[in-house]
Amino acid sequence: MKRYERFVAIGDSNTEGLFDPDGHGGNLGWADRLAEHLAAHQGAVLYANLAVRGRRAAEIHDQQLEPALALEPDLVSVVAGMNDLLRTSFDIDSVMGYVDGMLGAVTGAGATALTFTFGDPVPVNPYARVLRRRLNAINDRLRATAARHGAVLVDFAREPIVSDSRFWCEDRLHANTEGHRRLAAAAAEALGVPTPGPRWNEPLPPRPRKGRREFIAGELDWARQHLAPWVGRRFRNESSGDGVEPKRPDLTPLGR
């Protein structure tokens, strides 16, 4: 297995690790958990996480790529595009142009690039059905782009288990702690890094269907707590990442 000494993660909220609390007022997330897998297997790893919630592909490219490469990494995770997908101004050629540029820059610098496709959101949020065509188009382009640059691709879109709502937060946009554990284990597997426990795509047991009344109450609660604030930010041209800085801007050691 190839050894990775310097791992840098760039991206948005899921790479930042939102909704995976570390028990000390911060967040872990799949990238932190992947770094822990690397450290456990190798003995140590230097790790930085430049991801910031709300960032779109252009912002990740313009704000995070250069600082990431300046750290001279040998592994860089690049996950971008979901915040673009949710905008009415979505332009797949623009978004994938930035993703292509990031993957090309990483591999051109001699590092391994790691990226993901996006799982089907409809089982988690039925209102996302209108976005399915966009998502499929992004995933098709991601597969081709990753292959062209020799990036390591975790093809979550082809794993139905990713769309189990029990791996996602109540906002239906972010992975929960179990979801982040699974994402990290999948990334580790793609890199050839062993992880403890069952395989990451081990399915959960079936659960009872919700009754109509429970379903409607849940939808109303979701709209009030999560959809309305998100729409409000869009109208005000605000981002959840306004004023937020990267949580781990420099390479720091994990392991011995």
- Residue 33's alpha-carbon distances to 37, 143, 155, 161, in angstroms, are 6, 24, 19, 19
State the Cα–Cα distance between residues 238 and 32, nearest whole angstrom.
27
Backbone region of residue 19 per phi and psi (left: phi > 0; alpha: psi in -120 to 50; beta: other values): left
The H-or-E segment that residue 73 falls in is none
The residue extents of the domains of the chain are: 6-203+246-255
Alpha helices in 110-247 (DSSP H): 132-149, 177-190, 212-222, 228-235
What pTM value is reported for the model? Answer: 0.91
Tokens of 205: 């047991």
Residue 256 is predicted with a pLDDT of 46
> Helices then strands (H, E): number in the chain?
10, 6
Token pair 């990431």 in the structure block, residue: 68
SS3 per-residue string spanning 78-128: EECCHHHHCCCCCCHHHHHHHHHHHHHHHHHCCCEEEEECCCCCCCCCHHH
- Residue of 94, 83, 95 whose CA lies nearest to 239: 83
6-203+246-255 sits in which CATH class? Answer: alpha beta
Q: Which residues pair with 78 in a beta bridge?
A: 10
Residue 230 is predicted with a pLDDT of 64
State the Cα–Cα distance between residues 98 and 236, nearest whole angstrom.
26
- Written as tens digits, the pLDDT of the chain (256 aa) is 789 999 999 999 999 999 999 999 899 999 999 999 999 999 999 999 999 999 999 999 999 999 999 999 999 999 999 999 988 889 999 999 999 999 999 999 999 999 999 999 888 888 888 889 999 999 999 999 999 999 999 999 999 999 999 999 888 789 999 999 999 999 999 999 999 888 899 988 887 777 777 766 666 666 677 666 766 776 677 667 678 899 999 999 985 4
Token pair 């988690």 in the structure block, residue: 124
Backbone region of residue 243 per phi and psi (left: phi > 0; alpha: psi in -120 to 50; beta: other values): left
Determine the angle formed by the axes of helices 92-108 and 132-149, rounding to 10 degrees. 20
- Using CA atoms of 241, 243, 247, 249 in order, give the dihedral in degrees to the nearest 10: 110
